[in-house]
Amino acid sequence: MSAQRTLTAAIHFINQEADLLDQGEFREWLALWQPQGMYIIPVDRQTTDFANALNYAYDNQAMREKRVHRLYSGESISTTPRARTIRMTGRHRLIEASDQRVEIRCAQFLYEYRKGKEHHYVADLSYTLVPQGERFLIAQKVIRLINGDDYLHSIGYIL
């Protein structure tokens, strides 16, 4: 596949992931991941050693499933009612592409509305995607919030 076709397919996949999260289709979101895939939100934007750094999230499959259950089961009062979100991605850049993996970086703007209040979060996203036939699976997603080392409001949803 050419670099342009790979980039276009990856952008489509990233937009699909954003839509699943915004629409509350969390089981479908979980199915986008490789079993050993990692969902990471580091506190320090510059860190690359996620296993030995402070993170808001450092989730393997079991932790992603627990996060979805905790946030969206209605059992957690801090997440009821569920926030309404819209996320947009842009500035997609193909970093590396091979038959085994695709590295892509982009920006995300996430707008949240809950209980009459609005918040927004802006982040750099880094994806490692693994081609699986005509689609991808997420091997790693790193969300580097531009204000991750500052005060964050209670975030009751998946970034």
Domain ranges of the chain: 3-145
Count the Cβ atoms, other than its own, within 10 Å of residue 34: 16
Tell me the CATH number of domain 3-145, given options 3.10.450.50, 3.40.718.10, 3.30.70.3000, 4.10.780.10. Answer: 3.10.450.50
Whether the pTM exceeds 0.95: the reply is: no
Measure the CA–CA gap between 94 and 76, rounded to whole angstroms: 38
Measure the CA–CA gap between 140 and 34, rounded to whole angstroms: 9
Residues 6+ apart with CB under 8 A from 121: 108, 109, 110, 112, 145, 147, 152, 155, 159
What is the residue whose two structure tokens read 């880094």? Answer: 126
Task: Render 121-144 in DSSP notation, one character per residue.
Answer: EEEEEEEEEEEETTEEEEEEEEEE
Q: Report pLDDT digits (tens) over 20-54.
A: 999 999 999 999 999 999 999 999 999 999 999 99
The whole-number pLDDT of residue 43 equals 93
Q: Report pLDDT digits (tens) over 90-125.
A: 999 999 999 999 999 999 999 999 888 898 999 999
